[in-house]
Amino acid sequence: MDLVIISRLTIALTLGLIIGIERGWSNRESPEELGSDGLRNFGLVGLLGGITALLAEEWGWGILGVTFLGFAILVSTSYVLTAQKSQDYGTTTEFALLITFLLGALVVKDLSLESIAVAVIVSWLLKLKSEIRQMLIWLKQEELIATLKVLLLALVTLPLLPNQDLGPWNAINPRAIGLLVLLIVSISYVGYFIIRLWKDKSGVLLIGFLGGFASSTATTIALSRMAKQGQGQTKILATAIALATGTMAPRLLLQITVINSSLAKQLAIPLTILGLTPILIALIFIWRGIKEKNQEVPITLSNPVELGLAVQYALILIVLSLLIKAGEQWFGETGVYLVSALSGLADVDAVSISLARAVNQNMSLSVAKISIFIAVFMNTLVKVALTRFIGGKELARWCAVIILLTLTFSGITIFVIG
């Protein structure tokens, strides 16, 4: 008795039962008692796939193809007869049966763990029928297109980019640039859906925090307009803006960790302070009984993924990579700091990512760390300026106090750890 063969056939039977349980549960109230039949049928189909693959090892793999073809014809015939009787033309169960046969065969090829994982995923997808339908109703056309664009970037464009250093000072790696663009786009994509899910269910403070994941600039503008129109307490709105600004901290830490973990460790405490201080201030306001109005924040969400924006990010990253390298070569640390300050006025993600890459090319950790803080500082000042021009003096004063206090604590740790 070969225990290995017995164990694999048992697994083939088990994964058939895993899928069969879901099908049986879904049909448990069927007048034809298809629930119990579904459970038994799927278990037997998994076992059939395993036995067929076992025979194929002895008699040739042609028998597996012939058996699968015959089984597919049997399933198709059964589908036609059943559909004519029940007027139910869904093919989900039939496809699941064919997959179960193939999974049973894969188990015999010593792919047991992979087959069981696929069986569980198939069962989960089968069970999510109503949820998937609701999601498709909820999803907008531009959001579906955005999802396809992310997949296009990740699965088609990125693998085609050459993975080698090019250009002056070997500062440009197309594959690395593509990966960084995908990272930025993906964070924006996830942030878009976070804010869309929660913006109608949350107060101003939570919207300020969540809005930072989608766009801290858009959130700052929306909250500043509310302050100008007298739609909320200035202290609460200022704290919400600080929360939106502080959200850049976990975002940056994630991006930098992906590129250079050593630099991420150096920035972990400063960025944590940058993110946590506004949260602590918000908690103090709540503790002191300063209540916020639970009202809708009119944040305008743009398309989460624009290919034009992705190309723009790619060009920015290429230019910044060259400028940072040129600044370091021609002017030393001062040149890098100047590039970081100017770049931070427009975007902190791109320059931080470029600096993290430069560390991989022998830039000093200390220089990169200080440069990222300079970019964060300049970008934050832009947010405060927006509150002044859009929301007025009082909002800008409160924002400046909270945000500059946060930056001070964060900056002290930069130099203390240094």
Domain endpoint, select from 75, 108, 134: 134
Q: Tokens 């990169």 map to which residue?
A: 368
Return the top range by mean pLDDT from 5-14, 31-40, 226-235.
5-14
As a whole number of angstroms, the distance between CA 29 and CA 316 comes to: 59
In this structure, the chain runs to a length of: 418
| Average pLDDT of the residues in 80-89 | 68
Q: What is the average pLDDT value for the chain, to the nearest integer?
A: 77
Query: Is pLDDT above 60 for 298?
Result: no
**Residues 403, 293 within the same domain:** yes
**Residues 107, 223 within the same domain:** no
As a whole number of angstroms, the distance between CA 146 and CA 189 comes to: 8
Quote helix, strand, coil % in the chain, to nearest 5.
85, 0, 15
As a whole number of angstroms, the distance between CA 145 and CA 147 comes to: 5
Q: What are the backbone angles phi and psi of residue 91, rounded to the nearest 5°?
A: -115, 10
pTM over 0.85: no
Return the top range by mean pLDDT from 72-86, 146-160, 207-221, 311-325.
146-160
Domain endpoint, select from 134, 155, 175: 134
**Residues 64, 194 within the same domain:** no
As a whole number of angstroms, the distance between CA 67 and CA 102 comes to: 11
How sure is the predictor about 34, in pLDDT bands with cuts at 50, 70 and 90? very low
**Residues 128, 145 within the same domain:** no
Query: Is pLDDT above 70 for 37?
Result: no
**Residues 174, 122 within the same domain:** no
Which of residues 5 and 253 earns the better pLDDT score? 253
**Residues 95, 195 within the same domain:** no
Domain endpoint, select from 76, 109, 134: 134
| Average pLDDT of the residues in 302-323 | 69
- List, for residues 128-185, the tens digit of each pLDDT value: 776 667 766 777 777 777 788 888 888 888 788 887 767 676 667 777 777 767 776 7
**Residues 224, 130 within the same domain:** no
pLDDT confidence of residue 38: 66
Cα dihedral 374, 378, 383, 389 in deg (nearest 10): 160
pLDDT confidence of residue 354: 82
Which of residues 125 and 302 earns the better pLDDT score? 125
- List, for residues 103-124, the tens digit of each pLDDT value: 888 888 878 788 888 888 888 8
**Which of 295-304, 308-317, 320-329, 404-413 is least confident?**
295-304
Tokens of 113: 């763990």
pLDDT confidence of residue 35: 47
The continuous run of DSSP H or E covering 92 comes out as helix 92-108
Number of domains within the chain: 2
Please name the residues in contact with 341: beta carbons below 8 A apart, sequence gap of 6 or more.
Answer: 374, 375, 378
**Residues 198, 311 within the same domain:** yes
As a whole number of angstroms, the distance between CA 407 and CA 112 comes to: 53
Instruction: Kindly write down the DSSP assignment for every residue of 46-85, as one continuous string.
Output: HHHHHHHHHHHHHH-THHHHHHHHHHHHHHHHHHHHHHHH
pLDDT confidence of residue 300: 56
**Residues 151, 212 within the same domain:** yes
Return the top range by mean pLDDT from 8-12, 77-81, 85-89, 183-187.
8-12
**Residues 106, 189 within the same domain:** no
**Residues 160, 246 within the same domain:** yes
**Residues 90, 192 within the same domain:** no
- Domain span holding position 247: 139-417
Which of residues 1 and 40 earns the better pLDDT score? 40
